């Protein structure tokens, strides 16, 4: 339990300077930024609710086998510099309904797990890694120490010599922040002093001047865009309100079972496709990479559901033979965003859980480095983020890396027993879209 905080737990000054201290982790002394105890944010508290106990995982496939000692030495100067990764979540003694972060001593040996395995006894190393992550998703992080751990699996798979699984409780930050922090622990393999570079959206050059007529049309265009944005926002707000009240997605084979709280385990699998293929479709259709990702996701889900709805043994659900999909399917995706303090954490939890429970899918699309990077000095061939503990039976993550796009699905096997088939449908859908572009001659629109 933390010592009493006295007055100012809620209204402390943000201008207090951090205190520099040194602590030992069994390797060497390291400088550590000590900050004042801080209460959990509304979103962090939400992620500790039993219905929304979400853990983020990221697995990194490395080109060489990993020695634990260099990893520990590197983490001292990267990950442990962040206060959240050296803090415990404790209940405030003055207000037992509040929780806060309190910094503590850390022993890296309690956070780094070395998986011992006899590779000669493995029938499928890839399946072993997949099952290991699945079994990991059945567990929660120990609340008696900072909420993260790192698992080193020195097993040769089809695409790597070893795999690192990084697990973090979602209360430490949102997905984008955690991936950014993870990338901050990496360096370019070409220059180990440089951080990864993330592509940014290029701004179109603004013309220097307009005629009176052009200026009028631009003003009208901006006004029309404002009207469209206002209407779309009003519709979205209305749909959100009725979703948390009563509007549910259509019950389909991939919907979360009613007793999802009793089974938080998730099967997490991935598929690597060519980022150049997505760029090909993007340029031909004059859309964004996110549009292409959503398009192949919708097409792949249609194929998968068509197969699941197939009746009898003759029709396997191939769209060329028959359309087994019922009309008017409502199937939506949820995106989580930061919550500000309002009516209380109980209300926020209820609203968020209803929003996710009444929707079918969680979807994210993250931009990754453009060049090869190394984690603690070990070159990475690919990395893939995901999560478990969410109410949705299906979570889809798109993660780019160099010239690759990694599609990761986290599924409840009670709803989706064959996730690899779903990935096949995603990949087949991309190929169908590519072939349709070529056949229709849209390739001429490439710039």
For residues 23 and 434, the model is more confident at 434
Alpha helices in 20-170 (DSSP H): 42-46, 68-76, 125-136
For residues 329 and 207, the model is more confident at 329
* pLDDT value of position 95: 63
In the predicted model, what is the mean pLDDT of residues 128-144? 94
- With contact defined as beta carbons under 8 Å apart, do 47 and 169 qualify? yes
Residues with catalytic roles: 170
- The whole-angstrom distance between residue 267's C-alpha and the CA centroid of its chain comes to 15
Strands 87-91 and 333-334: unpaired
Least confident range from 7-11, 264-268, 276-280, 345-349: namely 7-11
* pLDDT over 80 at 217, yes or no: yes
SS3 92: coil
Strands 38-39 and 99-103: antiparallel
* pLDDT value of position 207: 58
Instruction: Grade residue 340 by pLDDT with cuts at 50, 70 and 90.
Output: very low
* pLDDT over 50 at 341, yes or no: no
User: What is the residue-averaged pLDDT of the chain?
Assistant: 80
Instruction: Grade residue 90 by pLDDT with cuts at 50, 70 and 90.
Output: confident
Least confident range from 47-51, 110-114, 170-174: namely 47-51
| Reported pTM | 0.79
SS3 7: coil
CA dist., res. 273 & res. 394, Å (int): 20
Least confident range from 43-52, 245-254, 294-303, 399-408: namely 43-52
Contacts 24+ apart (CB under 8 A), 181-187: 181/79, 181/82, 182/58, 182/383, 183/368, 183/369, 183/373, 184/78, 185/74, 185/75, 185/78, 185/79, 185/375, 185/376, 186/369, 186/373, 186/374, 186/375, 186/380, 187/373, 187/374
* pLDDT value of position 254: 82
Instruction: Grade residue 268 by pLDDT with cuts at 50, 70 and 90.
Output: very high
With 0-12 / 13-18 / 19 or more C-beta atoms within 10 angstroms meaning exposed / middle / buried, residue 374 is: buried
Least confident range from 140-154, 206-220, 233-247, 272-286: namely 206-220
400 to each of 288, 293, 296, 381, 447, how far by Cα in Å? 14, 11, 15, 12, 22
* Residue owning tokens 């442990």: 80
CA dist., res. 303 & res. 215, Å (int): 47
* pLDDT value of position 211: 66
* pLDDT value of position 343: 41
Of residues 388, 390, 402, the one with CA closest to residue 57: 388
CA dist., res. 350 & res. 356, Å (int): 10
């Amino acid at each position: 339990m933390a010592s009493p905080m006295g007055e100012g737990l809620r209204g402390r000054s943000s201008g207090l300077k951090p205190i520099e201290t040194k602590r030992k982790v069994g390797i060497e002394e390291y400088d550590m930024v000590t900050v004042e105890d801080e209460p959990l944010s509304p979103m962090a508290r939400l992620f500790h609710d039993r219905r929304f106990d979400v853990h983020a995982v990221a697995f990194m496939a490395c080109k060489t086998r990993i020695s634990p000692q260099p990893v520990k030495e590197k983490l001292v100067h990267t990950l442990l510099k962040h206060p959240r990764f050296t803090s415990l979540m404790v209940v405030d003694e003055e207000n037992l309904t509040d929780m806060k972060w309190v910094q503590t001593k850390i022993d890296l040996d309690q956070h780094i797990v070395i998986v011992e395995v006899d590779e000669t006894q493995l029938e499928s190393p890839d399946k072993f890694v997949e099952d290991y992550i699945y079994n990991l998703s059945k567990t929660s992080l120990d609340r008696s120490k900072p909420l993260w751990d790192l698992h080193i699996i020195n097993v040769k798979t089809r695409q790597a010599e070893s795999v690192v699984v990084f697990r973090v409780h979602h209360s430490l930050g949102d997905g984008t922040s955690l991936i950014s922090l993870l990338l901050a622990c990496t360096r370019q393999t070409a220059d180990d002093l440089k951080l990864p570079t993330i592509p940014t959206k290029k701004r179109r050059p603004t013309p220097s001047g307009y005629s009176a007529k052009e200026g009028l049309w631009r003003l009208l265009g901006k006004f029309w865009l404002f009207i469209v944005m206002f209407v779309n926002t009003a519709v979205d707000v209305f749909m959100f309100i009725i979703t948390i009240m009563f509007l549910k997605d259509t019950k389909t084979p991939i919907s979360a079972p009613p007793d999802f709280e009793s089974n938080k385990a998730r099967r997490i699998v991935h598929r690597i496709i060519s980022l150049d293929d997505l760029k090909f479709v993007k340029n031909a259709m004059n859309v964004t990479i996110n549009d292409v990702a959503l398009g192949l996701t919708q097409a792949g889900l249609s194929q998968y559901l068509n197969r699941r709805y197939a009746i009898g043994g003759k029709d396997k659900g191939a769209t060329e033979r028959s359309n087994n999909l019922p009309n008017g399917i409502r199937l939506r995706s949820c995106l989580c965003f930061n919550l500000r303090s309002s009516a209380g954490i109980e209300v926020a939890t209820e609203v968020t859980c209803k929003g996710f429970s009444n929707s079918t899918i969680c979807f994210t699309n993250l931009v990754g480095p453009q060049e090869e990077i190394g984690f603690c000095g070990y070159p990475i061939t690919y990395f893939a983020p995901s999560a478990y503990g969410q109410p949705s039976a299906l979570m889809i993550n798109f993660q780019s890396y160099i010239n690759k796009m990694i599609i990761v699905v986290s599924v409840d096997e009670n709803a989706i027993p064959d996730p690899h088939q779903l990935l096949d449908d995603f990949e087949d859908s991309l190929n169908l879209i590519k072939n349709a572009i070529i056949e229709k001659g849209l390739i001429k629109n490439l710039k």
